[in-house]
Structure 1
């Protein structure tokens, strides 16, 4: 599996974690499968692209997925109020890209 495909799966996993977290809030059970999903995502990512890249991409994609979900949920939020979170998300994506492209 090449690195770009692995990164695409990590991004999908981060967005999946946002959806899963949203669903788990509504379900009141004592055990959660969030840790199992994170473990499986991390095992594949760490082996193929490294721990730092895996964590950076998961955090960035989870933030973007959560931000998009929040924007769709709140219909009456002015665009000016979204400027800060969007700038923060852009900076986090740039940081994840810098971590992912590093070479030793």
Structure 2
């Protein structure tokens, strides 16, 4: 994959992780235990998580899990898979430091925007300064690759 295409993909993956976490919180808020959220989110660990759910809540836990499934509940798993894919491509194409720098900078930016939206208040000057410094650091890491 072209290295210039990896950076927008990594930025999108950072935003996707914030969305994933927000959706995971939303799922958790609508059920009695985070185990149910993880069952919905994690197809790979489905057998293990169902066993844990059965041991903790019995058949009532399975019933609650099925009732909690909504169409949007599959998005956290999809967003997480995209994050892992982008990270692997980044490590292969541009290396770990550049991959991590872009992921963290984009996650922070999306996190600040999500928090500002949720609280209906703009980020503080110190938060913005921190974000600018983090983004500047990411740029320095990316330029160091050249």
Q: What is the aligned partner in structure 2 of residue 56 from structure 1? A: 101
**Structure 2 unaligned residues grouped into runs of 5+:** 29-36, 42-76
Measure how far apart 1:38 and its partner are: 3.4
Instruction: With the length of structure 2 as denominator, give the TM-score of the two structures.
Output: 0.62
CA shift for structure 1 position 19: 0.8
Return the match for 2:141 from 76, 90, 99. 99
Deviates more, 1:29-38 or 1:42-51: 29-38
The 3 A distance-change label for structure 1 pair 36 and 2 is closer
Question: 1:41, CA displacement in angstroms?
Answer: 1.9
**How far apart in 2 are the matches of 1:43 and 1:82?**
34
Structure 2 match to 1:73: 118
1:87 is matched with 129
Deviation by residue 1:25-72 (Cα, 9 ceiling, x = unmatched): 111323443764432221111001101111111011000000011112
Q: Secondary structure, in 3 states, of the residue corresponding to 2:38? A: coil
The count of aligned residue pairs is 101
Runs of 4+ that moved beyond 6 A: none
Q: Which has the larger radius of gyration?
A: 2
Distance 1:103 1:37, change over 3 A: closer
Equivalent residue for 2:17?
17
Q: Distance in 2 between matches of 1:102 and 1:42?
A: 19
Among 46, 62, 76, the alignment partner of 2:91 is: 46
Stretches of structure 1 lacking an aligned partner (at least 5 in a row): none
